[in-house]
Amino acid sequence: MPMQPILKVENLTKVFKSNGRPDFTAVDHIGFELMPGECLGLIGESGSGKSTVANLITRLTDMSEGRVLLDGRDITRLSGSALREAYRQMQMVFQTPTESFDPRHTLGDGIGESLRNFGACRAEVKKRVAALLTQCGLPAEFADRYPHQVSGGQCQRAAIARAIAIEPRLLICDEATSALDVTIQKEVIALLGRLREAMHLSILFICHDIALVQQFCDRVMVMYKGKIVEEGVPDEVIRNPKNDYTKRLIESIL
């Protein structure tokens, strides 16, 4: 039996409507599959619709059309506890780590939230949070720190710890390293690589840095004006881009 994709997206579309302005199609009928253990890159310039794709898949934005299947299950219209159940399998890491944590709560509170939501007791959560922080290369004491008390790189490690806390199968990283210095980016990428191996994670890696995608991803999709214009193995796409936009993009890299 062929392997079932962990994520399958069909005909995904988002049209933003606002009064007095023409409708804007941010994501235009795209479809793709992500296999278990695979790392799929999504690249494109700003405004091409990459982040909207992430927000649609994670149901943070309502889609206009299309379907999202998580491990074979249609999550397009789930809400409430059924949607929460889906988040057990799918977690997200955002671009600005400090803003992705509640400033009034400690990192430990944020990391442990999903565990508490799924019924773990206080002592258990505390132990797990300490283990998760260590796994992500931070001292266990960081559980008591607030987001503004740690650096951007440390905060992103904590955000990764939060994302993997309930052992999801799919991680969606939306420009997860873009706000970090290159030396820190390298460490965070190494961390994601280690976790990917250890937890057999599938990753949708949204990024505008093609060189980084080439390093980290098994496959890449190029997005332009809401459509996926090219898809393939990163080395292939970079050496022999077929689409005109992809060609221009690769040529512009200094």
Partner 1 sequence: MAEILRYDRVDIAYNGKTVITGVSFDLRPGEILGIVGESGSGKSTVIKAAMGLLGPSGQVTRGDIFYKGKDLPDLSPAEMRRLNGPELGMIFQSAGASFCPIRTVGAQLYESMTEHERVTKADFTHRACELLQKIGFEDGMRILNSYPFELSGGMQQRVGIAAAMLMNPSILFADEPTSALDVSVQKQVVEEMLLVREAFGTSIVIVTHNIGVIGAMADNVMVMKDGRMVEYGETRQVLDDPREAYTKTLMAAVPRLKR
The one segment of 9-17, 24-32, 137-145, 175-183 that binds partner 1 by CB under 8 A: 175-183
> In the beta sheet, which residues pair with residue 8?
33, 69
Pattern of binders to partner 1 over 105-144, x per CB under 8 A? ----------------------------------------
Q: Which residue has the tokens 């199968």?
A: 169
- Which of 33, 65, 71, 209 lies at the binding interface for partner 1 (CB under 8 A)? 209
Strand 219-224 with 39-43, pairing: parallel
CB of 21 to partner 1, least distance (A): 14
Q: What is the C-alpha to C-alpha distance for residues 59 and 66, in angstroms, rounded to an integer?
A: 12
The one segment of 53-61, 112-120, 204-212, 225-233 that binds partner 1 by CB under 8 A: 204-212
CB of 41 to partner 1, least distance (A): 12
Which residues ranging from 26 to 65 are in contact with partner 1 (CB under 8 A)? 45-46
Which residues ranging from 234 to 253 are in contact with partner 1 (CB under 8 A)? 235, 238-239, 248-250, 252-253
Note whether 233 binds partner 1 by CB under 8 A.
no
SS3 253: coil
DSSP 156: H
SS (H, E, C) 47-70: CCCHHHHHHHHCCCCCCCEEEEEE
The one segment of 11-19, 49-57, 182-190, 223-231 that binds partner 1 by CB under 8 A: 182-190
> In the beta sheet, which residues pair with residue 14?
27
Q: Which residue has the tokens 């949607």?
A: 83
CA of residue 201 relative to chain centroid, distance = 12
Q: Inter-axis angle of helices 122-135 and 107-117, to 10 degrees?
A: 120
Residue count, binding to partner 1 (CB under 8 A): 25
Note whether 182 binds partner 1 by CB under 8 A.
yes
Note whether 156 binds partner 1 by CB under 8 A.
no
Residue 147, both tokens: 């987001």
Q: Summarize as ranges the residues that interact with partner 1 (CB under 8 A).
A: 45-46, 152, 181-186, 208-212, 214-215, 235, 238-239, 248-250, 252-254
